[in-house]
């Protein structure tokens, strides 16, 4: 009898411990939390299922894929296999990071075909977002006078195609790309149709380009479709080598509580992707830390 009681106490304690651990994961209610696959490019190759296990265990239930369609070849996984592995862990593929020579009008047809291919793939996963990056500032022809306007024309066309497929496409700002700073962001927003093309801001890259993320989020609140929460510090920034300036949530200078208050005022319901560029102690440790910050500092503001 004592042994049985001890075993029951042990099992009850284990169940309580697991429940407490689960309660510390992001709630994924109005705000649903995702991560980006690109982080794993900085580490030794692992099976894609290991990435999915980190997601399941840390509460980041969505994933944005990068380097599509090559990512499937890299990890040796088919679309059907990915769908099976995602489903059995109750996870979601939410978007693809899409880029192309949008600044080159002669390549518009190919850009639109590639965007359609990416969204066709995503549709099988129930996703409806395409995150669109602007071209590199070093891309051939990016310095030409008409490049920026060509890019915005292409963005509108991508947005139109997205709408036809039941998707939203939105701009992702980034250092070293044509939409890097606040002035370029304002110009891109002015030259694109708000009914066709949306905004998918990256907090770290807004901050490192000199912007105030809370003000940016408030200004473009009507066009926000999906966000990246990523912390950063400006000191010692070398734009070409910005990884040392990226940090886990709460370790940098960005006012995420302020951002979250904007989201609350919007009654935001959607995805935030903690798309880390660096994980100093490995992906699992960083996402555990980011998840703890979400629960501790952001969920009391807006869940």
> What's the per-residue H, E or C state across 50-90?
HHHHHHHHHCCCEEEECCCCHHHHHHCCCHHHHHHHHHHCC
User: What span, in angstroms and rounded, lies between the C-alpha atoms of 27 and 303?
Assistant: 7
Spell out the residues 6+ positions from residue 218 whose beta carbon is closer than 8 angstroms to its own.
Answer: 262
Q: Retrieve residue 213's tokens.
A: 């993320």
Residue 51 near residue 60, CB atoms below 8 Å: no
- Cis omega (within 30 of 0) for bond into 151: no
Domain assignments of the chain as residue spans, ordered by start: 28-298
Nearest to 287, CA basis, from 23, 26, 20: 26
Residue 67 near residue 55, CB atoms below 8 Å: no
Residue 135 near residue 178, CB atoms below 8 Å: yes
**Which architecture, in CATH terms, is 28-298?**
Alpha-Beta Barrel (3.20)
pLDDT tens-place values along the chain, 303 residues long: 444 444 453 444 444 434 444 458 999 999 999 999 999 999 999 999 999 999 999 999 999 999 999 999 999 999 999 999 999 999 999 999 999 999 999 999 999 999 999 999 999 999 999 999 999 999 999 999 999 999 999 999 999 999 999 999 999 999 999 999 999 999 999 999 999 999 999 999 999 999 999 999 999 999 999 999 999 999 999 999 999 999 999 999 999 999 999 999 999 999 999 999 999 999 999 999 999 999 999 999 999
């Amino acid at each position: 009898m004592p042994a049985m009681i001890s075993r029951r106490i042990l099992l009850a304690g284990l169940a309580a411990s697991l429940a407490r651990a689960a309660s510390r994961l992001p709630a994924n209610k109005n705000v649903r939390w995702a991560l980006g696959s690109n982080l794993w490019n900085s580490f030794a190759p692992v099976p894609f299922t290991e990435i999915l296990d980190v997601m399941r265990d840390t509460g980041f239930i969505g994933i944005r894929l990068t380097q599509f369609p090559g990512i499937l070849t890299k990890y040796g996984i088919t679309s059907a296999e990915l769908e099976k592995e995602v489903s059995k862990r109750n996870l979601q593929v939410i978007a693809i990071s899409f880029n192309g020579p949008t600044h080159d009008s002669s390549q518009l047809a190919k850009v639109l075909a590639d965007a359609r291919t990416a969204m066709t793939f995503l549709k099988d996963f129930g996703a409806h977002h395409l995150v669109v990056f602007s071209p590199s500032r070093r891309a051939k022809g990016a310095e030409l006078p008409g490049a920026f306007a060509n890019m915005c024309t292409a963005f509108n066309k991508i947005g139109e195609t997205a709408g036809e497929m039941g998707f939203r496409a939105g701009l992702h700002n980034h250092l070293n790309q044509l939409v890097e700073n606040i002035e370029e962001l304002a110009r891109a927003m002015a030259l694109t149709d708000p009914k066709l093309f949306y905004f998918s801001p990256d907090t770290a890259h807004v901050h490192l380009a000199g912007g105030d993320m809370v003000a940016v989020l408030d200004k473009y609140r009507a066009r926000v479709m999906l966000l990246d929460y990523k912390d950063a510090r400006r000191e010692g920034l070398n734009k070409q080598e910005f990884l040392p300036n990226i940090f886990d949530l709460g370790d940098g200078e960005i006012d995420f509580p302020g951002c979250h208050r904007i989201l609350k005022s919007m009654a935001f319901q959607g995805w935030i992707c903690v798309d880390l560029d660096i994980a100093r102690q490995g992906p699992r440790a960083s996402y555990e830390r980011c998840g703890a910050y979400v629960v501790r500092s952001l969920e009391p503001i807006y869940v």
